[in-house]
Structure 1
């Protein structure tokens, strides 16, 4: 299916009275255009208002398309980095995204065996289910631990950095409880916690011996720190990253190519997740090699979320050989006077 066909099918589904959700059928009455006849291209999606703020309070049953009634839907929440969490519903879309990510990890050389350890949020966050699903797809069992990023962000935001450091130590102790009794082959972790792991000699040595792959996500990392992880601390492990969030889905790092200027280039799940990089001043697209603010369009049968302006920025990267999909590199928070404060913490 072409992008144009996918866009048309998505709009027809969400704005037909027989298949659309109560949320979007109500919203359609307030628009000054007809989504089914007036939206002809991805560029036209910017005519929609950014409704993501309403996801903090809308009843989740209003988000479920009538055409999917009776299917089991799950509810996931955003991390609440810049305010109260937003909620989305999902039946099948995220699973398809994860299945594709598993294929990309295979191209990175990730093993199809051994135990995984997920050092990241679970609870209402989609990443917990994602990593467990990835482990299952790759023939593995997955250990998880308690990890509450909102609590750490509250501690840091209120200046209680000593308590935040104590919480990080608590996470390290939980990792040790698993690693000291189980052989872990694949580790999902965030850069700040991985740095703390490397500073704990016994724990680091055991993981350095057992790990075949590391999948990191959640916070930004400098090229120098990433180089140290890959070449100094874990030279025998495959290392890859994923970028994404509850609203946009998962964009895995594509395998590196000769001549890549950036160590990590992420590619969104096309055409379900479309990402544009915009100049914050003009609102127009940036050129290759330039930094722009992330604009997301989520186009699935489970959820339609157009024109969501994220608090992240990224550098636009030319498509890899044999592909026509732009890449994203060097993800970083938006730096502007009116940008919301971003607290990364441990995730």
Structure 2
């Protein structure tokens, strides 16, 4: 169990086939489904309630995630939860207008898995957290605040607009982007000056900039008990520097995730691991497949492919979403369907340049 009683088995417990059938009955049931999916089902040549039986069958669904850029959010709320409070969150907007999702409780429930993994890594319970990452319409800010709270801590945040940084970089105004990074660190500096921070969450670019500011790094590192990074890809050299040079005596844990799939924490390393950083989704609520970008076939273990996500919760159903990420398929946990992944990087297609910025 997690530190507040949430079920941490969300990541590895439950039959994926039984869970899938329950989710399909919910989202395509006349009394419980959302207008978005009930309307979409009338256009298909298959019946989700009778023709989708196994997780492999999820490939029959079209990827409708682009419609989340413009859909009225009321149409996404399942009738079975109408009247309950929902929140709206947005993707980072790297590939165009941001996509919107709705959330009632599923992401909070899934934090039980992340909580348990952080405990396995040795991240301390309690104390103050500092979140140097997006808040606003981005769900990561809410998730980190809630994660700190369920672990008995409090969370400090800064103003952080990743879309502005991406725009500056895309427009060739790198100097202004660098100035903005220092502006964010100035805010963190004010917090660290008067507060003892035990756990920090930051993106790899922000951690690099923080470590380069000696006075801030020295004050922060002296009291830290854990470092969590996420939001952009990380090079092997940067990860090694963080773990072995800058924070050698405390847990340094990566999180892979986005608005479409939730959070996949780095699982504790074992001597048998081929890769130093392996991520696992909260199965069966979120399933990742690593697929060949040309054929769509499941990549072999050890091969790089494109990330394909299926989100299967009562709040939202999002099958067959091709992400703008590539990863190495590590394998499938016992009793699971989705893949563990390593070395997540932006997917480069048709010569397009992906601007990661600071998130």
Query: TM-score with structure 2 length normalisation?
Result: 0.94
The superposition leaves residues 75-134 of structure 1 with CA deviations (integer Å, 9 ceiling, x where unpaired) of 010010111000000101101111210111000001012100000000000000000011
Helix, strand or coil for the counterpart of 1:85? coil
The superposition leaves residues 147-201 of structure 1 with CA deviations (integer Å, 9 ceiling, x where unpaired) of 0000000111111111101100101101100011100010000111111111111
Aligned counterpart for 1:79 among listed residues 87, 92, 95: 92
User: Are the aligned partners of 2:227 and 2:252 in contact in 1 as well (CA < 8 Å)?
Assistant: yes
The residue aligned with 2:6 is none
The residue aligned with 2:251 is 238
Helix, strand or coil for the counterpart of 1:202? helix
The residue aligned with 2:127 is 114
- State the aligned residue count: 346
Aligned counterpart for 1:63 among listed residues 57, 76, 79: 76
Aligned counterpart for 1:30 among listed residues 18, 43, 54: 43
Distance in 1 (CA, whole Å) between partners of 2:336 and 2:19 is 18
Relative distance call for 1:322 and 1:58 in structure 2 (3 A) is closer
Distance in 2 (CA, whole Å) between partners of 1:31 and 1:326 is 28
Query: TM-score with structure 1 length normalisation?
Result: 0.97
Aligned counterpart for 1:182 among listed residues 181, 195, 203: 195
Distance in 2 (CA, whole Å) between partners of 1:209 and 1:57 is 47
Helix, strand or coil for the counterpart of 2:84? coil
Deviation at 1:280, TM superposition (A): 0.8
Distance in 2 (CA, whole Å) between partners of 1:345 and 1:2 is 39
Any residues of structure 2 matched to 1:33-48 within 5 Å, and which?
33-48=46-61
User: Are the aligned partners of 2:290 and 2:339 in contact in 1 as well (CA < 8 Å)?
Assistant: no
Aligned counterpart for 2:158 among listed residues 130, 145, 148: 145
User: Are the aligned partners of 2:36 and 2:75 in contact in 1 as well (CA < 8 Å)?
Assistant: yes
Q: CA RMSD in A?
A: 1.4
User: Are the aligned partners of 2:132 and 2:202 in contact in 1 as well (CA < 8 Å)?
Assistant: yes
User: Are the aligned partners of 2:299 and 2:305 in contact in 1 as well (CA < 8 Å)?
Assistant: yes
Distance in 1 (CA, whole Å) between partners of 2:348 and 2:86 is 36
Deviation at 1:69, TM superposition (A): 1.0
Is 1:209 the equivalent of 2:226? no
Deviation at 1:322, TM superposition (A): 9.3
User: Are the aligned partners of 1:223 and 1:263 in contact in 2 as well (CA < 8 Å)?
Assistant: no
The superposition leaves residues 34-86 of structure 1 with CA deviations (integer Å, 9 ceiling, x where unpaired) of 10001111121111111100000000000000011111111010010111000
Distance in 2 (CA, whole Å) between partners of 1:319 and 1:275 is 10
Deviation at 1:275, TM superposition (A): 0.6
**Does 1 or 2 have the higher relative contact order (CA < 8 Å, sep 6+)?**
2
User: Are the aligned partners of 1:272 and 1:298 in contact in 2 as well (CA < 8 Å)?
Assistant: yes
Stretches of structure 2 that go unaligned for 5 or more consecutive residues are 1-13
Any residues of structure 2 matched to 1:190-201 within 5 Å, and which?
190-201=203-214
Helix, strand or coil for the counterpart of 1:284? coil
User: Hey, which bits of structure 1, 4+ residues long, moved more than 3 A?
Assistant: 319-326
Helix, strand or coil for the counterpart of 1:180? helix
Helix, strand or coil for the counterpart of 2:153? coil
The superposition leaves residues 130-150 of structure 1 with CA deviations (integer Å, 9 ceiling, x where unpaired) of 000110011000000100000
Distance in 2 (CA, whole Å) between partners of 1:166 and 1:97 is 36
Distance in 1 (CA, whole Å) between partners of 2:64 and 2:334 is 36
Relative distance call for 1:69 and 1:7 in structure 2 (3 A) is same
Is 1:105 the equivalent of 2:118? yes
